[in-house]
Amino acid sequence: MPGQEAITAQYDRVAPCYRVLSPLFLITPLARRRGVAALGLRAGDTVLEVGAGTGRNLPYLVDAVGPGGVVIGVDLSARMLAEAAKMVGRRGWSNVELVRADATALELDRHLDAILFSLSWSVIPNPVAALRQVWERLRPGGRVAVMDLGITETPLRPVLAPVARQLNRLGPGRPDARPWDDLAPFGEVATDRFLHLYYVCAVTKAGAPQRSSGSP
């Protein structure tokens, strides 16, 4: 796996054609919808996407939090973010903030209701450090979801491993990442695997205030 600088340079290079390349990586809208659904977002929420790239999840996130909510997208690649900014401009969203930063050193002065890592847990060299950086900002009861694709636990591993090696040149990542293990210290991890390739791992931050018995 290349270092951070090489990873960012490669995502800068592929940014203009990231959308066209997505089918090669078998990235489906279904997977994006499931990743966002795992966040349990409500209207008015503030959600952070770590490694937001060209903003392919923004339509789902903006839809989930509504006009009264806020979506923050952080990425280290200026060109990936430039593509996201074009989408924000085209759609006229005024509640999306794009921040260029290394997620492991992100200074965020906001309270968060949810945090999404979509296809980025396996790319960021130290994703646990990135999560630790914003964990204190997440409210009790708020969720972290990691949507990614990998070959660690699929019976198709022998077929997919050589393909993954080739695709890694285009979009570097760790197809053998194990976020379900990495996330265990943060809380109970629920993992949903689908299509033999995808997974969504979700953790709910402990300490949510008890609802009174009469409340819905």
Ligand X SMILES: C[S@@+](CC[C@H](N)C(=O)[O-])C[C@H]1O[C@@H](n2cnc3c(N)ncnc32)[C@H](O)[C@@H]1O
**Least distance (Å) from ligand X to the CB of residue 149?**
10
Residues 6+ apart with CB under 8 A from 209: 140, 141
Per CB under 6 A, the list member of 46, 47, 69, 120 interacting with ligand X is: 120
Determine the size of the site formed for ligand X (CB under 6 A).
23
Per CB under 6 A, the list member of 96, 119, 138, 160 interacting with ligand X is: 119
Residue, CB closest to ligand X: 53
**Contact present, 116 and 179 (Cβ < 8 Å):** no
Taking residue 212's Cβ as centre, other Cβ atoms within 10 Å add up to: 6
Q: How far apart (Å, rounded) are the C-alpha atoms in residues 42 and 70?
A: 11
**Least distance (Å) from ligand X to the CB of residue 199?**
14
Positions in 49-88 near ligand X (CB under 6 A)? 51-53, 56-57, 74-77, 80
149 contributes a contact to ligand X by CB under 6 A: no
31 contributes a contact to ligand X by CB under 6 A: no
Rg of the chain taking only CA atoms, in angstroms: 17
Specify the DSSP element, H or E, that contains 80.
helix 78-91
* CA dihedral angle for residue 86, residue 88, residue 94, residue 97, rounded to 10 degrees: -90
**Least distance (Å) from ligand X to the CB of residue 209?**
31
Residue closer to ligand X, measured from CB, 177 or 209: 177
**Least distance (Å) from ligand X to the CB of residue 112?**
16
Q: How far apart (Å, rounded) are the C-alpha atoms in residues 7 and 174?
A: 12
Dihedral of alpha carbons 59, 64, 70, 72, sign: negative
Q: How far apart (Å, rounded) are the C-alpha atoms in residues 48 and 119?
A: 14
Binding mask 177-216 for ligand X (x = CB under 6 A): ----------------------------------------
171 contributes a contact to ligand X by CB under 6 A: yes
**Least distance (Å) from ligand X to the CB of residue 109?**
18
- Residues within the interface to ligand X (CB under 6 A): 4, 7-8, 11, 51-53, 56-57, 74-77, 80, 102-104, 118-120, 123-124, 171
